[in-house]
Amino acid sequence: MAQITQEELPNGLPLYRVGLPGTRSTTILVAFDAGARTERTEENGAAHFLEHLVFKGGELFDDYRKVNETAERMGAMLNAYTSHDLVAFHITCRAERTMEALDLLTDFVGRPRIDAEELDRERGVVIQEINRSFDQPSTVAEYLIDRTAFGEHPLGRPVLGPEDHLRTFTRDAIVGFRERRWSGRRGGAFIVGNVEHVPVGPHDSGSGAVGELLGRFPDLPAPEGYDPAPTLKTERAVEQRDTNQSHLRMMYAPQVDVGDVRQRAALAIYSTLLGGSMGSRLFDEIREQRGLCYSVWSIDHSFADAPVLQLGAGLDSSKCIEAYTRMREIVAELHDDGPTEDEVARAQAYAAGRRVLAFENTNAVARYAATQRIVFDEDIDPDAAIAALDAVTFDEVREVAAAIDPQRLAVACVGPHEAGEFA
């Protein structure tokens, strides 16, 4: 059983210790409600660019070499990610090096230099990252389905942002975004795994060594809210490319309350039986029985205020429309007739087992905890997440299937097609 404690530090940053008995590593993760959906229109790309820039150094570890080499000397894995939901920085190390790792992470993330010269140099690196993404048709398909489903809303914009924004971002603009969004009151620090080497301050007040290091993050006012997710658009979009391979994406809006843990768990099981495993309906029929593709899948995701169900396939262009038609029919059949009890039982066991295996990794638990706390303001206990999947009933999964309107979907495709083919 996970052993969890919580306290709020003087700068407003909540600190969670999640002890996982039997582990030999520790992950430290600090995250903020400062993902791409919190950007203003002219800021698109700023959240991700800022993630890059803080790695250039802080006050003590004041350049990128010191940051990288210090992490390597302690045998630690250091990384970060920016999504529409969050920006997060994390380091995983041997448990006995935890305080050294915390010193490193809080220095360059909590008090970054954001040097103007480094900003100009990194600007070119991120532009290359953007250009590379457009050379990958599968990534372009992801951009296209988001824009098709959400339009000009921040959820419809790519996390990386457009090249022209990267060329014009100033240091003041990037620092301004950080000061507006990186508030501890919409963030969290998570120390997960073997926490035997993490001292606790007097009366668990955060005044000990851990609290002092996390005190490097400034005390900032709570940020403003962000635009609510829009109603999913039922449009079709194609980026034509003269290739033999097509990349198909389909997005539905399940009628699920994202504030209900049980309903999100039922959606996860539905997505698993639809296209989340080798025993799923999509994989069995589209790939195995019909041989229409190598890759076909479904995945569910819940933003703070909207759930989405996405289907995808990479396949020979000559088979794309047949696959698309049959994938839509499978969603409709589940809507009309519901799943079988056997496939729900298999999907439930697979989804819960997959989560158990994922939670053997302290980093996965830390990322889960950050999403639970910052996006949903819910319990971060990993055992509760597994229990939620185990507790879902057949009727609850059937209700999710019935609540997905098979006629209301957005469709995007990269390949030699016309939008009208996906009517």
CATH topology match: 3-214 vs 236-422? yes
Strand order in the sheet with 307-316: 236-239, 409-414, 245-252, 307-316, 295-302
Residue boundaries of the structural domains of the chain: 3-214, 236-422
How high is the pLDDT of residue 201? Answer: 63
User: How many DSSP H helices and E strands does the chain contain?
Assistant: 15, 11
> Residues 6 or more apart from 84 whose CB is under 8 A from it?
35, 36, 37, 154, 155, 159, 303
pLDDT of residue 204: 46
* Distance of alpha carbon 58 from alpha carbon 110, whole angstroms: 8
Q: Which residues of the chain have pLDDT under 50?
A: 203-207
Gap between the Cα atoms of 212 and 289, Å rounded: 60
**Distances in whole angstroms, Cα of residue 175 to Cα of each of 13, 85, 179, 212, 301:** 19, 20, 6, 23, 30
Q: What are 35-45's pLDDT values in tens digits?
A: 999 999 999 99
pTM: 0.96
**Rounded CA gap, 169 and 46, in Å?**
8
Q: What is the pLDDT of residue 208?
A: 80
CA nearest to 216, candidates 102, 78, 369: 102
**Contact call for residues 292 and 286 (beta carbons, < 8 A):** yes
* The pLDDT of residue 202: 53
Q: Tell the CATH topology of 3-214.
A: Cytochrome Bc1 Complex; Chain A, domain 1 (3.30.830)
Instruction: Note the pLDDT of residue 200.
Output: 78
Q: Does the domain formed by 236-422 have CATH 3.30.830.10? A: yes
- Report long-range pairs for 418-423 (Cβ below 8 Å, ≥24 apart): 418/238, 418/240, 419/236, 419/237, 419/238, 420/236, 421/238, 421/321, 422/236, 422/238, 422/321, 422/324, 423/236
Instruction: Answer yes or no: are the C-beta atoms of 244 and 317 closer than 8 Å.
Output: yes
Q: In sequence order, what are the residues at sequence separation of 6 or more whose Cβ sits closer than 8 angstroms to the Cβ of residue 8? A: 14, 15, 206
pLDDT tens profile 150-205: 999 999 999 999 999 999 999 999 999 999 999 999 999 999 999 999 997 654 44
Nearest-angstrom CA–CA distance, 367 and 233: 30
pLDDT number for residue 203:
44
Residue 327 CB: number of other CB atoms within 10 A? 26
Torsion of CA 40, 41, 47, 49, to 10 degrees: -140
**Residue 39 is encoded by which pair of tokens?**
């950007």
Looking at residue 9, its pLDDT comes to: 96
Q: Hey, what are 192's tokens? A: 């997960």
Strands 187-193 and 14-19: parallel
